[in-house]
Amino acid sequence: MAPSLDDNNNNNNKIIEDEMTHLKSRVTVENVKYLPGIKLGKNVVANPDLENAVKDANLLVFVTPHQFMEGICKRLAGKIRSDAEAISLIKGMEVKREGPCMISSLISEKLGVDCCVLMGANIANEIALEKFSEATVGYRKNKEIAEKWVQLFNTSYFMVSAIQDVEGVELCGTLKNVVAIAAGFVDGLEMGNNTKAAIMRIGLREMKAFSKLLFPSVKDTTFFESCGVADLITTCCNGGRNRKCAEAFARNGGKRSFDELEAEMLQGQKLQGVSTAKEVYEVLSHRGWLELYPLFSTVHEICIGRRPPTAIVEFSKKILPGAYSIQPVDTLPTSFELMVDAFPRFLNAINASP
């Protein structure tokens, strides 16, 4: 939402107020900065006063950069209706060394409400033009609440499905950005269509394996939903900023840093893929799983200049000879075959970790 972010939550009020100035009056509601020319509907009310905005609300929809959420939750705690329900459209979360901090969990814990998520292949201006698309609601336990959210969001051109896998849906939204960086490298190196598709596929596998390792409840089928394969396609194949900056990075042979390219190309916005790759790397490194996620780990090593962009297609050499050849399909989804053998060890490790 906000073009320039920092982690200081004290700045949030100022930024939210700045953003509100882009919203015109109630009569002709329009976001002149981000969606010029699109009428948002007369029932949309721009309200810069957070506490006032939520006072009587029974359905809370959160859409903000994830850095803001901790501060927003602090301000809202104890000020919302006891029967309120929340949904997060925030794509992103913090993967801390001791484990991931999911935004939906943060909202649930801090506000004491149920929190679903909504993710999918949803480029905003295309939805605004009412082009057909899909989205996925992830819910934890309460199917009735999920049905309510589906009813609220679903239209003839926006088809919403609900699945009972809140972590899986939310992790898709975050991890796809790491794959988009890899896809951008492939584009910058002009490796062609086969390579791009292979990297996206390997990325999807690592997304699935990583999500399932962090949350054993995550379901394979989630990755066939809009939040999974469809969002991955839009993020890796089009003009998204992660893919675009990574392409520029590779074209420059890694000689210009991501910080430099971000400053030049994004007017102060930060690339979520680069920071997520770092966080994922820390988790993998901490748990000794780096070699099992060659794509995720290589992306980070390229981003920090430890390896050249061309390394994105060299990771296959890291796999033990022969290990890639035959894979039993009935096992749990894996990041390459090695994981099949190592899986019980991972589950033990993950259960033993704090």
Q: What is the C-alpha to C-alpha distance for residues 269 and 265, in angstroms, rounded to an integer?
A: 9
Residue 85 as a binder of its own copies (CB under 8 A): the answer is no
* Catalytic residue check, 208: no
Interface region with its own copies, contact rule CB under 8 A, candidates 37-45, 86-94, 191-199, 250-258: 191-199
Alpha helices in 240-293 (DSSP H): 241-251, 258-265, 272-287
Q: What is the C-alpha to C-alpha distance for residues 299 and 182, in angstroms, rounded to an integer?
A: 6
Residue 118 as a binder of its own copies (CB under 8 A): the answer is no
Q: What is the C-alpha to C-alpha distance for residues 247 and 224, in angstroms, rounded to an integer?
A: 26
Residue 221 as a binder of its own copies (CB under 8 A): the answer is yes
Residue 287: phi and psi, rounded to 5, are: -100, 0
Smallest distance from the beta carbon of 35 to its own copies, in angstroms? 15
The CA radius of gyration of the chain, in Å to the nearest whole number, is 21
Distances (CA, A) of 136 to 88, 133, 161, 323: 12, 11, 5, 35
From the list 12, 64, 226, 298, which residue makes contact with its own copies (rule: CB under 8 A)? 226
Residue 133: phi and psi, rounded to 5, are: -150, 175
Between 160 and 261, whose beta carbon lies closer to its own copies? 160
From the list 66, 91, 196, 212, which residue makes contact with its own copies (rule: CB under 8 A)? 196
Residue 121 as a binder of its own copies (CB under 8 A): the answer is yes
Residue 193 as a binder of its own copies (CB under 8 A): the answer is yes
Between 159 and 350, whose beta carbon lies closer to its own copies? 159
Enumerate residues 231-260 that contact its own copies by CB under 8 A.
231, 233-234, 237-238
HSE (side-chain half, CA atoms, 13 Å) at 60? 31
With CB under 8 A as the rule, give the number of residues binding its own copies.
66
Between 106 and 236, whose beta carbon lies closer to its own copies? 236
Residue 131 as a binder of its own copies (CB under 8 A): the answer is yes
From the list 18, 70, 134, 282, which residue makes contact with its own copies (rule: CB under 8 A)? 134
Of 55, 74, 96, 176, which residue is the catalytic one? 176
- In contact, 89 and 61? CB cutoff 8 Å: yes
Dihedral sign for Cα atoms in the order 239, 124, 150, 65? positive
From the list 140, 205, 212, 300, which residue makes contact with its own copies (rule: CB under 8 A)? 205
- In contact, 135 and 122? CB cutoff 8 Å: yes
Smallest distance from the beta carbon of 243 to its own copies, in angstroms? 12
Between 93 and 135, whose beta carbon lies closer to its own copies? 135
Q: Output the six-digit token pair for 202.
A: 């390997």
Between 12 and 234, whose beta carbon lies closer to its own copies? 234
Residue 134: phi and psi, rounded to 5, are: -125, 165
Between 72 and 312, whose beta carbon lies closer to its own copies? 312
Interface region with its own copies, contact rule CB under 8 A, candidates 76-84, 132-140, 255-263, 286-294: 132-140
Q: Environment class of residue 239 by beta-carbon count within 10 Å: exposed (0-12), middle (13-18) or buried (19+)?
A: exposed
From the list 52, 58, 285, 327, which residue makes contact with its own copies (rule: CB under 8 A)? 327
Residue 12 as a binder of its own copies (CB under 8 A): the answer is no
Biggest CA-to-CA distance, the chain = 66
Using alpha carbons, select from 105, 170, 163 the residue that is nearest to residue 139: 163
- In contact, 203 and 235? CB cutoff 8 Å: no
Smallest distance from the beta carbon of 323 to its own copies, in angstroms? 11
Residues with catalytic function: 176
Contact footprint for its own copies (CB under 8 A): 121-123, 126-127, 129, 131-134, 143, 146-147, 150-151, 154, 156-157, 159-165, 191-198, 200-202, 204-205, 208, 219-226, 229-231, 233-234, 237-238, 313, 316-317, 324-330, 333, 337
